Amino acid sequence: MRKTVLEVLGLHRAYGSVQAVDNVSFTLAEGGSLGIVGESGSGKTTTARIVVGLEDADSGRVLVHRQDRTDRRRGRARRLARAREVQMVFQDPYLSLDPRTTVESVLHETLRLHFPGTDHARRTTELLDQVGLGRREATALPRQLSGGQRQRVAIARALAVEPAVLVLDEAVAALDVSVQAQILNLLADIREQTGIGYLFITHDLGVVRCVTEDVIVMRHGAVVESGPTASVLANPRHPYTRLLLDSVPRPGWDPRGIAAARRAL
């Protein structure tokens, strides 16, 4: 039985009269992989930002290794401790990488911040090797890399702090299909090697089917269905989950019928 590494309990977050996150709860096991799916505005990204600590919940708790991390007190030490537990990889790594800084400098800076006094050069080489990058990419600027290579850099930077949980917010959505497959295979290998837990935020049911063990489906801020990924996708119980599955393009697919079904929900 794997230990629970992340517990999210009764999260609520409102923006004015809009309930962005409405009583959301889930758990993630050590080395597990959980998908959160839903359309834009479903609350999945807000949930992820609360888990990482980029936003505060109005109520509810986030526990990592049974330690409550929803304390609103600020401070550099607390921020660094949270960052070492949970890291996030965003959809567009180019926006989160300094365009004037080489790849190895990005990793050195992260390591200096979290692990002063260690052998940063050796660890940087290990991280680059772990994500399939070499010396040429190490000395490159972000603009000199492809989209897939930049996403590998973002993953390496997140792994540098040795987190227990990696949150991936549409992390392959901006990539070509062939590159998506490479990144997803890389992530699967890293999870097997390290035992890190993944929280995938996505609208792509193909990604969910490929890389997650469990899934929760969100609509209007609330969880409408959850369970093992294979079971939920094979036998969806909620009409919204069935709608998401029916929305995946395939031969004979008619978007007009999907639009009508969405209005009826």
Task: Express each pLDDT in 46-103 by its tens digit.
Answer: 999 999 988 999 999 999 998 888 766 566 666 667 778 999 998 877 777 888 999 9
Q: Is 264 exposed, middle or buried (0-12, 13-18, 19+ CB in 10 A)?
A: exposed
Please state the φ and ψ torsions of residue 264, each to the nearest 5 degrees. -80, -20
Q: Which of 41, 4, 39 is nearest to 25 (CA)?
A: 4
Output the CA torsion sign for 142, 147, 153, 155.
positive
* 4-97+162-233: CATH number: 3.40.50.300
Chain position carrying tokens 């995946």: 248
Q: Which residues in the chain come in under a pLDDT of 70?
A: 71-80, 248-265
Domain ranges for the chain: 4-97+162-233, 235-265
